[in-house]
């Protein structure tokens, strides 16, 4: 694809303005990496993760699989465990060990995300937050596969902002008499839910009442401190960290909140901007929603990071074009596809 075929973000917005329906955005890890790569790229998470309960060394495990991607390792371990079940008679402990290690890596990802995460909302400068709000203000609904607090911090940095961004995420006080815990409600009373964490979030925890709770910020008790304290005590946030797309779907189906988020994605109409997402095989549970005959998304705007003519981007754009082809093959609505330059969106600076 020629570089001229990748437009600027403003051109993509102008193109979507001429189409029917609202604009929504789906944020991938590139959204967080764009703020600080060293914090949110998996390479640095690997360096920090301890994973001391593994049956083998961290280095040996990740090197054997030639990756530093936690989700890929989890996928391989669970697949190996499934295979080992076939040979249970010869080694009944093998599949149990593999699944143990998969869980260690899964929990280790939550551990290191909390460890590496910026400590305070103020770590995002006012200028950075305002730039991000300017980007997000273009969209009626915001979907994200990220677990971190950056989006939460930005949408709540409304004081003095020139841009309107919805912060309604479906979490409210249980009743006006007992405003002590924020819980997710499928029918919120304080505004339609506009923000959807498709894979959960660091500040979302399932409590003994079986409801999904959101930690609330306090001056003496910042969110990341609360998250670290809970993780230290063995209480992990509601995250979808499985590797394979099928395993992600199983985790999503087990949560009313995550099922609702996925359903809202499937009900989208108008234009969808995909920003900072690789559309890899691990994302196929999301891609399938857009390929489906029932999808009402009429236009797809996909961000491209770096040189469009690189081999990696040629493969990436082929995956995006495949969504368009498969939609048509499924006798669905014809999909308008546009690529835009990630950097031109100026999300953080």
* DSSP assignment of 302-318: EEE-S-TTSHHHHHHHH
CA distance 181 to 75: 34
| The predicted structure's pLDDT at residue 1 | 47
* HSE of 200, CA atoms in CB hemisphere, 13 A: 24
CA distance 247 to 12: 34
CA distance 166 to 151: 11
> Parallel, antiparallel, or unpaired: how do β-strands 269-275 and 212-214 relate?
unpaired
Ordered per-residue pLDDT tens for the chain, 349 residues:
455 589 999 999 999 999 999 999 999 999 999 999 988 886 667 777 888 899 999 999 999 998 877 878 888 898 898 888 877 655 668 888 988 998 898 888 788 878 889 989 999 999 999 999 999 999 999 999 999 999 999 999 999 999 999 999 999 987 655 556 799 999 888 889 999 999 999 999 998 888 999 998 776 688 898 988 888 787 888 988 776 778 788 889 999 999 999 999 999 999 999 999 999 888 899 999 999 999 999 999 999 999 999 999 999 999 999 999 999 999 999 999 999 999 999 999 9
| Contact criterion met (CB below 8 Å) for 308 and 1 | yes
CA distance 240 to 211: 17
| Contact criterion met (CB below 8 Å) for 110 and 236 | yes
Tell me the C-alpha to C-alpha distance, in Å, between residue 67 and each of 7, 70, 215. 32, 8, 33
| The predicted structure's pLDDT at residue 176 | 58
| The predicted structure's pLDDT at residue 303 | 98
CA distance 349 to 346: 5
Q: What global pTM score does this model have?
A: 0.86
DSSP state, residue 186? S
| The predicted structure's pLDDT at residue 2 | 52
């Amino acid at each position: 694809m020629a570089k001229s075929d990748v437009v600027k973000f403003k051109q993509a917005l102008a193109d979507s303005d001429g189409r029917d329906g609202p604009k929504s955005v789906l944020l991938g890890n590139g959204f967080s990496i764009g703020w600080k790569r060293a914090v949110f790229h998996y390479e640095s998470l690997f360096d920090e993760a301890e994973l001391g309960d593994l049956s083998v060394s961290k280095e040996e495990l990740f090197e054997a699989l030639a990756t530093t991607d936690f989700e890929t390792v989890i996928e391989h371990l669970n697949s190996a465990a499934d295979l080992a079940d076939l040979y249970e008679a010869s080694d009944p402990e093998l599949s149990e060990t593999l699944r143990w290690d998969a869980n260690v890596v899964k929990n280790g990802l939550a551990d290191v995300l909390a460890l590496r995460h910026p400590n305070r909302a103020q770590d995002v400068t006012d200028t950075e937050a305002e730039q991000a709000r300017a980007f997000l203000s273009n969209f009626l609904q915001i979907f994200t596969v990220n677990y971190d607090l950056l989006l939460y911090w930005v949408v709540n940095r409304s004081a003095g902002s020139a841009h309107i961004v919805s912060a309604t995420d479906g979490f409210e006080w249980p009743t006006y008499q007992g405003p002590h815990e924020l819980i997710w409600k499928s029918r919120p009373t304080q505004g339609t839910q506009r923000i959807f964490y498709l894979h959960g979030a660091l500040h979302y925890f399932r409590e003994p009442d079986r409801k999904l709770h959101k930690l609330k910020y306090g001056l003496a008790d910042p969110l990341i401190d609360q998250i670290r304290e809970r993780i230290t005590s063995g209480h992990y946030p509601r995250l979808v960290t499985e590797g394979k797309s099928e395993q992600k779907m199983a985790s999503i189906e087990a949560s009313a909140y995550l099922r609702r988020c996925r359903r809202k994605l499937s009900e989208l109409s108008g234009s969808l901007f995909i920003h900072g997402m690789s559309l890899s095989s691990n994302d196929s549970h999301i891609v399938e929603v857009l390929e489906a005959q029932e999808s009402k998304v009429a236009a797809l705007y996909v961000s491209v990071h770096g040189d469009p003519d690189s081999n990696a981007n040629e493969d990436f754009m082929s995956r995006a074009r495949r969504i368009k082809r498969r939609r048509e093959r499924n006798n669905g609505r014809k999909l308008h596809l546009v690529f835009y330059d990630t950097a031109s969106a100026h999300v953080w600076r």
